[in-house]
Amino acid sequence: MASRNIKIYGDPILRLTAAKVEKFGENWLPLINDMFDTCESDEGAGLAAPQIGESIQLAVIMLRRENEEPFKMEVFNPEILESAGEESFEEGCLSIPGIRENVVRPTKIRLKYQDHKGQMHEVWADGLLARVLQHEIDHLHGVLFVDHLPTVKKLILKSKLKSLEAGEIPDEA
């Protein structure tokens, strides 16, 4: 198990639609564990496979609460079937260091996904879990949280995003 390097804004893989996973089994466990290790070492709440250079429909979620073991979830081929509510909440992204902005998203989602064994699951998620799932699912479709921002906000962030594209990582990242 090892932490992987995160692809940064401007890397073309972050704009691709990831390939659907067709074959399942234990062979996915090393990648899943690497993704959880990366999530933990970079203090992320979730990570999509394209963020580490793997253009497949896989994301992991790792939510931490004080004095508790983290909640972990793996999702292959996730699909949001239904959503409800709406809330603005500050988001950041391991692939867009140094930038945090409020993003409006549904507060509750019904999600269909598979685990590494190919078993199909369907769940309702709300709160932070719903937000993180939506953020990571966006990554699987080449969408970044900054794409959800109003045009004026995107214009304000344009120079910071250009710096990231040029390989300049902010100090506070």
Residue 149, CB half-sphere, CA atoms under 13 Å: how many?
18
Backbone angles phi, psi at 63, to 5 degrees: -105, 130
Helices (H), the chain: 29-41, 127-139, 151-165
70-73 contact pairs (CB < 8 A, 24+): 70/40, 71/129, 72/36, 73/129
Catalytic residue among 82, 101, 136, 165: 136
User: Distance between CA 135 and CA 129 in Å, rounded?
Assistant: 10
Judge whether 74 counts as a catalytic residue.
no
For 73-82, give one letter per residue: b (16+ CB within 10 A) or e: bbbbbbebee
Residue positions annotated with a catalytic role: 136
